[in-house]
């Protein structure tokens, strides 16, 4: 092996350096002293994220800065407290109480943040839904929880099949009464007619449910991962040390709260650290993004490799039209970060891009590149203080440096999932070896503790950092009258990491055609979500199957595909 490329850290006034004594004697317990509940015993994520800052005299600080298509505005911490109190009162008046599920189906917009905070204030478990979900995806999630409450926008409510969701009793629309249909309630009108209840915050236990995110694996339907309020311990300290958030930071996390990154590092971690959050609607667009970075004066930026690769592909000239000099810290998550992208960041923005690794199930970052440490391009970084990572073989034995195995973590960090909703057996599968959480990722570790991602041990697809279960896409395609058999895999892609590819055997009487191909893609796009729709479809005479059970061998399909692209 040649000499490892390393990139030294820049000079800077980093939180982790200032907190060095805490880091040296690190225990999660020590971090607890930051929270008001360590004195009062009264726990609620929203109190620590919002109300507390107002009580501490930071009410006039800007909490949210929204850049929409037609409008731009800010909300201070005081306004965020008042709004979330008010919306919590509206919710409570209709019966929302501790432990209830409240689904939130809203665009990237301050309303989404306020709705989530309002629900959590009441001790409810919030279920933010990704804004690109179509009917089936929405239905499946709400039905799985027998969800009673939903807050949706006038646009997104159109994708909620009410008639198929009998459990759903109360639906608030973030709009005016004339934008509501049937029994839908205008949240805006209701809020205007309501007086916020004093002391509405419901105090809960650290282990009380906080949020639910559905996530895909290689088999079965997406599973609901429930996190607890205790996650704030790790979400706060990773926000402080990894994101390096300070009081005067303007921070932009580009993920939607329907994904765990958008909730944990788009809502909780920045608010716990009293930063200003930038919210920008819509999907990726290079000019828009550069313009938001400039206009908002973003100082800390957290995004995904696909987005960085897309910006890179647009050419560096674009960048010269914008003043991005305020950006002082950049981070990445969700999929492997190519060394090339890190070099691009250094060349064009004079900043390193700091990779971070974690999962929906882990609830917060575990493997990170701290701002004070060297970066080894191609590596995801090293375990966060207090986190113990190892590479295990099939029998659970620790492997030596350089050997590929299962990335596993000592299961004792505060943000780890509390449960897999209604599926304790699934929860157990994450812990095949006493005390270790086994991630499903394959990795190597070098002598210095740097961890290198090598792939998944299962068939999960990761496209643009978004987790897609092949089973979900296959099930959708099977609903199409032309489809007899289908196998779905992730095919390597230079920009998106992987793309969804479907191999389809048609029923007799159907002919392969470009029109049918488009129709099948649309079928998934309309029914499930655009990101789950197969970018490629290959029609086959038959699919490889296991001899006895007749299960479709995705692995074989994938191996053939990898051969073709020369991986």
Q: Which is nearer to ligand WTA, 153 or 261 (CB)?
A: 261
Please state, in angstroms and rounded to a whole number, the distance separating the CA atoms of residues 36 and 305.
36
Please state, in angstroms and rounded to a whole number, the distance separating the CA atoms of residues 324 and 332.
18
Give the contact letters, 365-404, x = binds to ligand WTA (CB under 6 A), - = no. Answer: ---------------x------------------------
Please state, in angstroms and rounded to a whole number, the distance separating the CA atoms of residues 182 and 190.
16
Q: From the list 112, 359, 387, 408, which residue makes contact with ligand WTA (rule: CB under 6 A)?
A: 359
Q: From the list 211, 303, 360, 463, which residue makes contact with ligand WTA (rule: CB under 6 A)?
A: 360
Q: Is 235 in the site for ligand WTA (CB under 6 A)?
A: no
Q: Is 215 in the site for ligand WTA (CB under 6 A)?
A: yes
Q: From the list 59, 175, 334, 345, which residue makes contact with ligand WTA (rule: CB under 6 A)?
A: 334
Closest CB 365 distance from ligand WTA, rounded Å: 8
What is the sign of the dihedral through the CA atoms of 178, 183, 186 and 189? positive
Q: Is 120 in the site for ligand WTA (CB under 6 A)?
A: no
Positions 497 through 516 that interact with ligand WTA (CB under 6 A): none
Q: Is 456 in the site for ligand WTA (CB under 6 A)?
A: yes
Positions 59 through 88 that interact with ligand WTA (CB under 6 A): none
- Closest-by-Cβ residue to ligand WTA is 360
Q: Is 472 in the site for ligand WTA (CB under 6 A)?
A: no
Q: From the list 308, 358, 413, 436, which residue makes contact with ligand WTA (rule: CB under 6 A)?
A: 358
Closest CB 312 distance from ligand WTA, rounded Å: 17
Write out the DSSP string of 187-255: HHHHHHT-PPPTT-PPPB-TTSEEEEEEE--SSSS-EEEEEEGGGHHHHHHHHHHTS---TT-EEEE-S
Q: From the list 48, 136, 335, 493, which residue makes contact with ligand WTA (rule: CB under 6 A)?
A: 335
Q: Which is nearer to ligand WTA, 85 or 144 (CB)?
A: 144
Closest CB 300 distance from ligand WTA, rounded Å: 17
Q: Is 453 in the site for ligand WTA (CB under 6 A)?
A: yes
Please state, in angstroms and rounded to a whole number, the distance separating the CA atoms of residues 340 and 334.
17
Q: Is 413 in the site for ligand WTA (CB under 6 A)?
A: no
Q: Is 336 in the site for ligand WTA (CB under 6 A)?
A: yes
User: How deeply is 34 buried, as exposed, middle or buried, from its count of CB atoms within 10 A (0-12, 13-18, 19+)?
Assistant: middle
Q: Is 269 in the site for ligand WTA (CB under 6 A)?
A: no
Q: Is 444 in the site for ligand WTA (CB under 6 A)?
A: no
Q: Is 439 in the site for ligand WTA (CB under 6 A)?
A: yes
Q: From the list 467, 496, 521, 531, which residue makes contact with ligand WTA (rule: CB under 6 A)?
A: 467
Edge-to-edge order in the sheet of strand 451-456 = 389-392, 405-410, 436-445, 451-456
Q: Which helix (H) or strand (E) holds 121?
A: helix 110-121
Closest CB 495 distance from ligand WTA, rounded Å: 15
Contacts of 120 (CB under 8 A, 6+ apart): 44, 45, 46, 126, 210, 211
Q: Which is nearer to ligand WTA, 344 or 510 (CB)?
A: 344
Q: Is 450 in the site for ligand WTA (CB under 6 A)?
A: no
Positions 304 through 323 that interact with ligand WTA (CB under 6 A): none
Closest CB 363 distance from ligand WTA, rounded Å: 10
Structure token pair of residue 500 = 């969804």
Contact 236, 31 (CB under 8 A): yes
Q: Is 217 in the site for ligand WTA (CB under 6 A)?
A: no
Please state, in angstroms and rounded to a whole number, the distance separating the CA atoms of residues 453 and 497.
13
Q: Is 459 in the site for ligand WTA (CB under 6 A)?
A: no
Please state, in angstroms and rounded to a whole number, the distance separating the CA atoms of residues 109 and 66.
7
CA distances from 375 to 5, 354, 369, 382, 393 (A): 8, 8, 7, 10, 27
Please state, in angstroms and rounded to a whole number, the distance separating the CA atoms of residues 98 and 121.
9
Q: Is 521 in the site for ligand WTA (CB under 6 A)?
A: no
Q: Is 491 in the site for ligand WTA (CB under 6 A)?
A: no
Contacts of 501 (CB under 8 A, 6+ apart): 488, 489, 490, 491, 534, 535, 536, 537, 538, 561
Contact 174, 186 (CB under 8 A): no
Q: Which is nearer to ligand WTA, 196 or 442 (CB)?
A: 442
Structure token pair of residue 419 = 């449960």
Write out the DSSP string of 250-302: EEEE-S-TTSHHHHIIIIIHHHHTT-EEEEE-SS--HHHHHHHHHHHT--EEE
Q: Is 226 in the site for ligand WTA (CB under 6 A)?
A: no
**Total site size for ligand WTA, rule CB under 6 A:** 22
Applying CB under 6 A, the span of 168-176, 228-236, 282-290, 327-335 interacting with ligand WTA comes to 327-335
* Chain positions contacting ligand WTA, by CB under 6 A: 215, 259-261, 333-336, 355-360, 380, 439-441, 453, 456, 462, 467
């Amino acid at each position: 092996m040649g000499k490892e490329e390393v990139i030294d850290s820049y000079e800077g006034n980093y939180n982790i350096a200032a907190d060095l004594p805490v880091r040296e004697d690190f225990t999660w317990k020590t971090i607890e002293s930051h929270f008001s509940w360590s004195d009062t015993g009264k726990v609620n994520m929203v109190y620590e994220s919002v109300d507390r800052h107002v009580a501490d005299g930071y009410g006039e600080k800007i909490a949210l800065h929204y850049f929409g298509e037609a409008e731009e505005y800010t909300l201070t911490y005081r306004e965020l407290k008042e709004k979330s109190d008010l919306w919590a009162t509206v919710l409570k008046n209709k019966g929302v109480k501790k432990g209830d599920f409240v689904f939130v189906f809203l665009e990237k917009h301050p309303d989404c943040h306020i709705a989530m905070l309002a629900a959590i204030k009441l001790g409810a478990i919030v279920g933010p839904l990704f804004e690109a979900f179509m009917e089936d995806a929405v239905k499946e999630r709400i039905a799985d929880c027998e969800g009673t409450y939903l807050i949706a926008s006038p646009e997104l409510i159109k994708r909620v099949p009410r008639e198929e969701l009998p459990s759903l009793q109360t639906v608030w629309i973030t709009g005016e009464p004339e934008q509501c249909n049937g029994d839908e309630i205008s949240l805006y009108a209701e809020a205007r007619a309501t007086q916020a209840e004093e002391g509405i915050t419901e105090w809960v236990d650290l282990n009380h449910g906080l949020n639910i995110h559905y996530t895909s694996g290689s088999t079965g339907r997406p599973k609901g991962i429930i996190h607890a309020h205790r996650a704030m311990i790790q979400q706060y300290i990773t926000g402080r040390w990894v994101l390096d958030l300070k009081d005067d930071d303007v921070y932009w996390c580009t993920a939607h709260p329907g994904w765990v990154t958008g909730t944990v590092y788009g809502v909780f971690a920045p608010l716990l650290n009293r930063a200003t959050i930038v919210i920008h609607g819509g999907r990726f667009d290079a000019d828009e993004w550069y313009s938001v970075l400039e206009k908002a004066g973003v100082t800390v930026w957290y995004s995904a490799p696909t987005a960085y690769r897309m910006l890179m592909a647009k050419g560096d000239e674009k960048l010269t039209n914008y003043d991005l000099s305020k950006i002082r810290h950049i981070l990445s998550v969700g999929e492997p970060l190519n060394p090339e992208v890190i070099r691009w960041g250094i060349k064009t923005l004079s900043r390193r891009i700091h990779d971070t690794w974690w999962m929906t199930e882990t609830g917060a970052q575990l493997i990170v590149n701290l701002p004070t440490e060297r970066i080894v391009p191609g590596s995801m970084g090293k375990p966060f203080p207090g986190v113990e990572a190892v590479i295990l073989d099939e029998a659970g034995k620790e492997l030596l440096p350089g050997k590929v195995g299962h990335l596993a973590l000592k299961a004792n960090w505060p943000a780890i999932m509390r449960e897999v909703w209604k599926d304790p057996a699934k929860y157990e599968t994450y812990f095949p070896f006493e005390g270790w959480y086994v991630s499903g990722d394959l990795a190597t570790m070098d002598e210095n503790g740097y961890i290198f991602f090598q792939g998944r041990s299962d068939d999960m697809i990761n496209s643009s950092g978004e987790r897609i279960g092949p089973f979900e896409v296959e099930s959708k395609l099977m609903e199409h009258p032309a489809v007899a058999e289908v196998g779905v895999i992730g095919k390597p892609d230079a920009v998106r990491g992987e793309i969804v590819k479907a191999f389809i055997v048609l029923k007799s009487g159907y002919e392969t055609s470009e029109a049918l191909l488009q129709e099948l893609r649309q079928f998934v796009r309309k029914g499930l979500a655009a990101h789950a729709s197969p970018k490629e479809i290959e029609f086959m005479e038959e699919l490889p199957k296991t001899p006895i059970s007749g299960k479709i061998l995705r692995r074989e399909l994938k191996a053939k595909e990898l051969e073709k692209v020369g991986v």
